């Protein structure tokens, strides 16, 4: 049984090692809730894809179902991490420095799923442009950001604490992902813009495709940017809400395009 020691302090003062459960665990809890909500939407999207596109190429089906399988695995891991912190070891402050490998998978899951989705759009760009230059550049950027995400997960696993997230190279991982999304969207928009024919009906379809490309990239890009800002401007775990949602945002938004 845990022993609690009563400490009387002047009004407004707290010991330096006191943990604010609201900002430390609140984002973790909200992230779990939103995570499962987005996963439910992803399940619906996969079901609709199964019904509407039975004749897709096998590699596209493998990509779609494989990403869904990865998301299922990652959300199970995040649920395990949340259960351990919020339920099984509730009240034990040592749990904040004894986090398991399931929590450390957060950066890896985001970096790996985003790389898969971004490489899918690299293939689209290549098919539309028949050029190697921009697809090669985007591939290098997205593979690099995934490598930094893996490195971040390794460091997080070794440290096993909430407290040192700013030392986990988030600028390289998230910054690379943001750059890849911007390059993908701008390249697709440029290709579509050049394909305008001057006919009203055709150009309206092209304009709609350009709008969808920008909108699809905006959600994960803005989310990753906000997370990066929160990491370096706040001294709590608010950024974890977005971090836990990033893999689902890529799967839901980008594959829905």
* Full-model pTM: 0.78
Please state the domain extents for the chain: 21-47+57-254
Q: Which CATH number fits domain 21-47+57-254: 3.30.420, 2.30.230, 1.10.405, 1.20.1070?
A: 1.20.1070
Q: What is the pLDDT of residues 65-76, one digit of tens each?
A: 888 998 899 889
The two three-digit tokens of residue 62, written as one number: 């493998």
Q: 27-52: per-residue pLDDT in tens? A: 888 888 888 888 888 899 889 888 88
- Is residue 91 pLDDT above 80, yes or no? no
Looking at residue 143, its pLDDT comes to 93
Residue 165 predicted with pLDDT over 60: no
* pLDDT at res. 57: 84
Q: What is residue 16's predicted lDDT score, i.e. its pLDDT?
A: 43
Confidence of residue 137 (pLDDT cuts 50, 70, 90): very high
Q: Which two tokens stand for residue 2?
A: 């845990």
Cβ 190 vs Cβ 128: under 8 Å: no
190 vs 184: CA distance, rounded Å: 10
Question: Tokens for 44?
Answer: 């619906």
Of these ranges, 63-72, 85-94, 124-133, the one predicted with the greatest mean pLDDT is 63-72
Query: Average pLDDT, whole number, for the chain?
Result: 77
Residue 12 has pLDDT above 80, yes or no: no
């Amino acid at each position: 049984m845990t022993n609690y020691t009563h400490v009387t302090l002047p009004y407004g003062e707290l010991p330096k090692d006191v943990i604010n459960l609201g900002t430390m665990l609140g984002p973790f809890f909200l992230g779990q809730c939103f995570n499962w909500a987005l996963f439910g939407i992803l399940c619906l999207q996969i079901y609709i894809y199964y019904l509407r596109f039975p004749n897709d190429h096998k590699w596209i089906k493998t990509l779609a179902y494989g990403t869904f399988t990865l998301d299922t695995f990652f959300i199970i891991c995040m649920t395990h991490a949340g259960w351990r912190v919020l339920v099984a070891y509730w009240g034990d402050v040592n749990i904040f420095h004894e986090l398991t490998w399931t929590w450390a998978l957060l950066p890896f899951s985001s970096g790996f799923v985003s790389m898969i989705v971004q490489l899918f759009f690299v293939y689209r760009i290549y098919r539309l442009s028949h050029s190697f230059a921009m697809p090669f550049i985007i591939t290098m950027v997205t593979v690099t950001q995934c490598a930094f995400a893996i490195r971040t997960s390794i460091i997080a696993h070794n440290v096993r604490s909430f407290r040192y997230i700013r030392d986990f190279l988030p600028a390289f991982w998230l910054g690379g992902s943001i750059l890849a999304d911007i390059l993908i969207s701008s390249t697709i928009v440029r290709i579509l813009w050049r394909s305008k024919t001057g006919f009203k009906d055709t150009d309206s379809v092209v304009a709609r495709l350009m709008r969808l490309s920008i909108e699809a990239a905006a959600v994960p890009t803005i989310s990753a940017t906000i997370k990066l800002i929160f990491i370096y401007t706040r001294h709590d775990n608010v950024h974890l809400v977005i971090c836990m949602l990033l893999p689902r945002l890529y799967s839901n938004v980008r594959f829905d395009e």
